[in-house]
Amino acid sequence: MASEQDKLLEEVTNREYQYGFHSDIDMDVLPKGLNEEVIREISRRKQEPEFMLEFRLDAYRKWLQMESPDWAHLKIPKIDFQDIIYYAAPKKKPQLNSMDEVDPELRATFDKLGIPLDEQKILAGVAVDAIIDSVSVKTTFRETLAEKGIIFCSFSEAAREYPDLVKKYLGTVVPSGDNFFAALNSAVFSDGSFVFIPKGVRCPMELSSYFRINTMNTGQFERTLIVAEDDSYVSYLEGCTAPMRDENQLHAAVVEIVTLDRAEVKYSTVQNWYPGNKEGKGGIYNFVTKRGICKGDYSKISWTQVETGSAITWKYPSCVLMGNNTVGEFYSVALTNNYQQADTGTKMIHLGKNTRSLIVSKGISAGKSQNSYRGLVKVSKKADNARNFSQCDSLLLGDKCGAHTFPYLEINNPSAKVEHEATTSKIGEDQIFYCNQRGIDTEDAVGLIVNGYVKEVINQLPMEFAVEAQKLLQISLEGSVG
């Protein structure tokens, strides 16, 4: 622990974005721009079954009719969708038997990111589906999981090898025409992860996937689909880092989760895309559609997110509580610094009887950033005895940042019980001074206070991610006080 703290201190004093490097890997890219031919080419290169191409083209046609949403509390620069590369893949498509065959540079990249691919890290018990840009390069633990009938693979592979499953669930939670960015993703998604947990199986390890943007001007469009059959359980972790870039990069992912009777899915995210420099230049635009449907009775979906990165975050992980007695949870920490903008929150849609939802949102704003919570709690006519509790807290550091809360309630059933609590506070000079007087410097004091403030959310993360998340928060805030 002592060396752990030293390491943390060292990282805190490291002033620049630490994952801002660029690796040279031979890439196979399609020309910039988007049209039906590009979509056909993506589908062809991925050797997808026919239904996938149809899904993509249908989405593309819907997308053409749509406009970029402008209701969020964000200033979004105009994005030229014809100036983006929609497909990039490492040239030598690896069919690898061991880690030794992986491109050394790629491995070095993974090492810098600390992705647990090597033997030593396998001991840590994390199965990884690592993605560099578009193609999944290496998947570990597949055999162990396969013994239990669990499928954990890249989306492209799933489309080829389990077309029936993919066809059955793809687009059932987030329809291709759901919103502008979901439609775009549905048309051009490059890769992502597919998880299937069969009836009665409790996934024995945390499934984790790392995403990383790595080619200049390549928008990344991941697609993740998680299906948990009756009485199953899985915990899925997603962590993101991206290299430093001057040009803005678009990221529009879609995540769909389906839980059947008594199934439970826990989805945790630690997001650290490049946020832009201190002047607000560069940084990732992150427009994500994440939604889960508790289809079966007594099933549960829990979202936990720690968002510290991206220049712009537009993200509302949601739960559709369709089955009776289903539970939806949303735990969120969103930290913005410098010129970052975040508009994030959740939607809890109560459809079944005795459904419950819990929202715990902790916003932290520093620098000149803008941080908004936007949440919808909807109780439909037939959702008897629905319960919701929402807690939305905002913490301000300094006086040039903004925190905003936009709660929406649509209650159509008189038996519903909905509670909303909101607080806004500033880190007190007196709290910092108290820490100082005990020998803790201001930077560490802020880290300590902030980590205390977000504890409820961090506690939801698996242990190793919790540690990582705490470091991220501290690193992201350094230099913002005093």
Partner 1 sequence: MLKIRNLHAKIEGKEILRGIDLDVKAGEIHAIMGPNGSGKSTLASVLAGNEAFEVVEGSVEFNGKDLLDLSPEDRAREGFFLSFQYPVEIPGVSMTNFMRTALNEQKKYRGEAALSASDFLKLMRDRKQLVDIDSDLTNRSVNEGFSGGEKKKNEIFQMAMLDPKLAILDETDSGLDIDALRIVANGVNKLRRPDNATILITHYQRLLDHIVPDFVHVLYKGKIVKSAGKELAYELEKNGYDWIKQEME
- Helix 36-45 vs helix 50-64: crossing angle, to nearest 10: 150
E strand or H helix at 358:
strand 356-365
C-beta closer to partner 1: residue 12 or 66: 12
Separation of alpha carbons 375 and 408, rounded Å: 6
Question: Strands 284-294 and 249-251: what pairing?
Answer: parallel
Q: Examine residue 451 and tell whether it contacts partner 1 (CB under 8 A).
A: yes
The structure tokens 């946020």 sit at 275
- Indicate which single residue of 117, 227, 351, 435 sits in contact with partner 1 (rule: CB under 8 A): 435
Residue closer to partner 1 by CB (options 23, 391) is: 391
State which of residues 420, 431, 467, 471 lies at the interface with partner 1 (CB under 8 A). 431
CA atoms within 13 A on the CB side of 97: 0
By CB under 8 A, residue 423 contacts partner 1? no
Please state the closest distance from residue 391 (CB atom) to partner 1, in A.
Answer: 13
- Choices 178-186, 279-287, 349-357, 428-436 (CB under 8 A): range interacting with partner 1: 428-436
Helix (H, G, I), strand (E, B) or coil at 167: helix
The answer to the question of residue 5 lying near partner 1 (CB under 8 A) is yes
CB of 433 to partner 1, least distance (A): 6
> Is 76 a binder of partner 1 (CB under 8 A)?
no
For partner 1, the closer of residues 415 and 425 by Cβ is 425
Sole binder of partner 1 in the list 402, 448, 467, 479 (CB under 8 A): 448
Q: Among candidates 418, 354, 409, 417, which has minimal Cα distance to 382? A: 354
Candidates 237-245, 367-375, 383-391, 437-445; binding stretch for partner 1 (CB under 8 A) = 437-445
Q: Which of 165, 376, 418, 440 binds partner 1 (CB under 8 A)?
A: 440
Q: Which of 411, 400, 396, 259 is nearest to 349 (CA)?
A: 411
Q: How would you classify residue 280: left for phi > 0, otherwise alpha for psi between -120 and 50, otherwise beta?
A: left
> What is the residue whose two structure tokens read 């775009």?
184
Integer angstrom CA distances of residue 145 from 149, 209, 232, 466: 7, 15, 14, 24
Binding region for partner 1 (CB under 8 A) out of 16-24, 89-97, 242-250, 453-461? 453-461
By CB under 8 A, name the one of 71, 104, 430, 463 that touches partner 1.
Answer: 430
Beta carbon of residue 13, minimum distance to partner 1 (angstroms, whole number): 14
* Contact set with partner 1 (CB under 8 A): 1-2, 5, 428-431, 433-442, 444, 448-449, 451-456
